Amino acid sequence: MSKLDSEKVKTGIHAKRLEVLRRKLKEKGLDAALITKRENYLYMSGFTGTSACLVITDSKAFLITDFRYTEQATAQAPLYEVVRYKDSLTETINSVLEGKGVNVLGFEDTYLTYDKYVQYKSGLNVKEFMPLGKTLESMRMVKDAEETENIEKAVKIADEAFRHILNFIKPGVKEIELAAELEYFMKKKGVTGPSFETIIASGYRSSMPHGTASEKKIELGDPITFDFGAIYNNYCSDMTRTVFVGQPDETMKNIYNIVLKAQQRACEGAVAGLTGKEIDKIARDIISEAGYGENFGHGLGHGVGLEIHEDPRLSVSGEVTMEDGMVVTVEPGIYLPGVGGVRIEDVVVINKDKPRILTESPKELIVL
């Protein structure tokens, strides 16, 4: 595909998103939306800068930013009229709204700080300032082909990084050294950076689900949990593998096999039509029946996209029904305080009754 054709496709995607959002605004009785969350304005416009807001009415779309980004915004968001603000963002928004017949303005109530809410509510010339709820987030749950392709590329680079790091694991190496090597490798492959602070938890620390890399040195007999991801073209990946330096004892072997069984069954069961809590239950029942229910204290997984954690959620409270094109993680774990833990995680695309598992790193027990 030529660069021109690619730009046409992107413009078409953003035009469709504008159409969908406008329909949703009308259904909610809103005249316009004020969008300030970066992931949401990126999704709606294509603008990747870090300082902007969108004002979208039933017929107009404005991207407001400062001097640093006006040229970039004009190039990246051709469907939007780019407006530069100098001193007061609130006054700039008012100037954009003037004469547009906007009486009811929607805002991102799940994102906006109270301070900003008060500032906008008192300063904007509208009759009502109404919550959007998760209007944008619900639109983002089902990924289009380009989004899925970006996630797939991020997953592939993380897979390559995992294979690479296995050659560096040995007693005496620090967790933070392994994290640095992982992230350096992924950056060389073209990613923007890690999806989140890299988790490398070895030995007794592996019982901490979010034990970010520390100064601890790897020791013979340690389990090591690697949980990391890459950001490629603004989209995130997320994977977890647990490996062992030397033969694990029977307890750790047992919980590894339980987690592996739960993870594989849940991956197979991540199908369209089930709710997040129904998929969560597949893995949770296996772990509970093995006697470790109290040691699996987090949700089974979450959506992945422009954010590392987004809707839908696979958890005991996950009410969203899975649809084709949703991209989620499946990551059960068992954690024994003072002993160690095991977690295994893949990225999965919901695809009717045949889930497409993007993560390709081996899941059989690895002993180094």
Q: Is the pLDDT of residue 4 over 80?
A: no
Question: What is the percentage of the chain residues whose pLDDT exceeds 90?
Answer: 96
Give the type of residue at 304: V
Confidence tier at 11 by pLDDT (50, 70, 90): confident
Say what the pLDDT of residue 8 is. Answer: 56
- Per-residue pLDDT of 203-248, as tens digits, reads 999 999 999 999 999 999 999 999 999 999 999 999 999 999 999 9
- Per-residue pLDDT of 95-105, as tens digits, reads 999 999 999 99
Say what the pLDDT of residue 162 is. Answer: 98
Q: Is the pLDDT of residue 67 over 50?
A: yes
Rounded to two decimals, what is the model's pTM? 0.95
CB 355 within 8 A of CB 348: yes
Mean pLDDT of the residues in the chain: 96
Portions of the chain given CATH number 3.90.230.10: 142-357
Out of 3.40.50.970, 3.40.350.10, 3.10.20.30, 3.10.450.50, which CATH number does the structure's domain 3-139 have? Answer: 3.40.350.10
* Interval 317-342 mean pLDDT: 98
- Per-residue pLDDT of 128-138, as tens digits, reads 999 999 999 99
- Per-residue pLDDT of 28-40, as tens digits, reads 999 999 999 999 9
Two tokens, residue 252: 């750790």
* Interval 135-154 mean pLDDT: 98
Q: Which CATH architecture is the domain 142-357 placed in? A: Alpha-Beta Complex (3.90)
**Which of 212, 229, 259, 257 shows the shortest CA–CA distance to 327?**
229
Strand partners, 2: none
Say what the pLDDT of residue 39 is. Answer: 98
Portions of the chain given CATH number 3.40.350.10: 3-139
Distance CA 259, CA 261 (A): 5
